[in-house]
Amino acid sequence: MLAVLTFAACTNSNDKMKNCDDTWDKVFPLSEKVNHKKVSFETQYGFTLVADLYTPKANDKSQMSNHKFAALAVSGPFGATKEQSSGLYAMKMAERGFIALAFDPSFTGESSGEPRRTASPDINTEDFMAAVDFLSKLPEVDAERIGIIGICGWGGIALNAAAADTRIKATVASTMYDMTRVSGNGYFDSADTEEVRHEARVALAAQRLADPAAMAGGVIDPLPDDAPQFVKDYYDYYKTPRGYHARSCNSNDGWRVIGTQAYANSRFLYYINEIRSAVLVMHGENAHSRYFGEAAYHYMVDGKAEGYKTVVAPNPCPENKELLIIPDASHCDLYDGGYTEPAGQGEPKNLIPWDKLAEFFNKNLK
């Protein structure tokens, strides 16, 4: 049965991983339909990533130990940990018959990497590919049936990984950000000028000499009365019992000020029009970030989209690409399904179409 899965135990002595055991510390309850185990694996850059492995409990003949499962690697949102949204996605997919791995990216959570709270376009893309390496080597996994899910900023990273790694047979980008676009252009491309980018580069260069370890702060707290609605939504998730976690960048002191400097001078999605495998871009109707997902979808399928200067060839396999807009959903509603009142109060909205995601992966991970 799956209870005897073989994997790398979490034994690294790195002090960021001192709590690397199976104690349940997620922001959501453990489903009775799955098994959970904490694991670790290495990236090609030499970092140790710590992850939660969710497996369906064996309850019929199709889930015996000689059965090969489709598998999913999950990460995001950008600045979150595996105890938050990515773990929920992984667990829900395990309920539906997948082996699912939710991992902390390099430099964050329980994973290794110094200095802490920093990011790199190439290292983060490798994080996803290293997760595929790990899943491919599990004896219970069919290495030809592996997909990935990227949430928020990791949606763009997932698309970048899918463009680079043909082992990834299906990708979901949920409530995605293109972190390279927003880092270089600002929200809604409001800072998309050479002059503004130059000022930002000057400031970051000065910061590197003044105090490279300075933290930028997570989600703003206390919350101003005049904060935009999407900032209030972030607060309701990251700063309340709904989604707060002690190791989460966004719940606490955020990234280093220079921690995402490399993102501003990069562009993730240049080759996504060449992804031949299946992709589902899922976004909320009312999400402030919806323009990222729609632009990525059209750039991927049509070879052009607003916000992208380069016009490239249309996708060779447009028939397996899909854009799904969830009615009445905001950005953070797709972190955990949303609630009827702020701060996670009231009844869950259940806006994430878990069965639709399972259908997409079952169709494309054959």
Question: What does the pLDDT look like over 51-91, one tens digit per residue?
Answer: 999 999 976 545 555 689 999 999 999 999 999 999 999 99
> Average pLDDT, whole number, for the chain?
91
Give the Cα separation of 116 and 327 in Å (integer).
Answer: 37
Query: Residue 328 has what pLDDT?
Result: 96
Q: Residue 20: its pLDDT value, please?
A: 61
pLDDT for residue 189 is more than 70: yes
pTM score, two decimals? Answer: 0.94
pLDDT at 59: 60
The helix (run of H) or strand (run of E) holding residue 296 is helix 290-302
What confidence category does residue 208 fall into, taking pLDDT thresholds of 50, 70 and 90? very high
Instruction: Please state the rounded mean pLDDT for residues 39-47.
Output: 98
pLDDT of the residue at 311: 75
> d(Cα 7, Cα 211) in Å, to the nearest integer?
40
pLDDT > 70: what percent of the chain? 92
Query: Residue 116 gets which letter from DSSP?
Result: S
Q: Is 256 helix (H, G, I), strand (E, B) or coil?
A: strand
pLDDT at 77: 98
Whole-number pLDDT of residue 2: 34
Q: Collapsing DSSP states into helix, strand and coil, what is residue 51?
A: strand
Among 108, 253, 124, 240, which residue's Cα sits nearest to residue 177?
124
How far, in Å, are 2, 116, 260 from residue 171 at the CA level? 25, 28, 24
Backbone angles phi, psi at 132, to 5 degrees: -65, -40
Interatomic CA distance for residues 233 and 149, integer angstroms: 22
User: Would you report the helix, strand and coil content of the chain in percent, each value rounded to 5?
Assistant: 35, 20, 45
CA nearest 50: which of 25, 88, 21, 80?
Answer: 21
Whether the pLDDT of residue 333 is over 50: the answer is yes
What confidence tier does 107 reach under pLDDT thresholds 50, 70, 90? very high
Q: Which residue has the tokens 């130059």?
A: 198
Q: Is the pLDDT of residue 268 over 50?
A: yes
CB-CB contact of 245 with 83 (8 Å): yes
Six token digits for residue 84: 């938050």
Average pLDDT over residues 274-296: 97
Q: Residue 291 and residue 289: Cα distance in Å, rounded?
A: 5
Question: DSSP labels for 304-353?
Answer: --TT-----PPPS-GGGEEEEEETT--TTHHHH--BSSGGG-S-B---S-
Residue 207 has pLDDT above 50, yes or no: yes
**Mean pLDDT of the region 227-237:** 96
Position 12 pLDDT exceeds 60: no
Q: What is the mean pLDDT of residues 332-361?
A: 94
**Calpha distance 210→68 (Å, rounded):** 54
- Per-residue pLDDT, averaged over 12-32, amounts to 72
Sorting pLDDT into bands at 50, 70 and 90, what band is 7?
Answer: very low
Q: Tell me the pLDDT band of 193, cut-offs 50, 70 and 90.
A: very high
Q: In this predicted structure, what is the pLDDT of residue 312? A: 79
**Does position 291 have pLDDT exceeding 50, yes or no?**
yes
Number of H helices, E strands in the chain: 9, 8
Residues in the chain: 366
Task: Assign 58 to helix, strand or coil.
Answer: coil
Which pLDDT band, with edges at 50, 70 and 90, does 4 fall under? Answer: very low
Edge-to-edge order in the sheet of strand 48-56: 34-42, 48-56, 99-103, 69-75, 141-151, 168-174, 278-284, 321-326
Q: Which residues of 35-71 are buried (b: 16+ CB within 10 A; e: fewer)?
A: bbbbbbbebeeebbbbbbbbbbeeeeeebeeeeebbb
Share of the chain above pLDDT 90, in %: 84
C-alpha span between 309 and 303 (Å, rounded): 11
What pLDDT is recorded for position 18? 45
Average pLDDT over residues 155-173: 98
**Strand ranges (E), 47-98:** 48-56, 69-75
In which residue are the tokens 């609605």 written?
229
DSSP helix/strand/coil, 62: helix
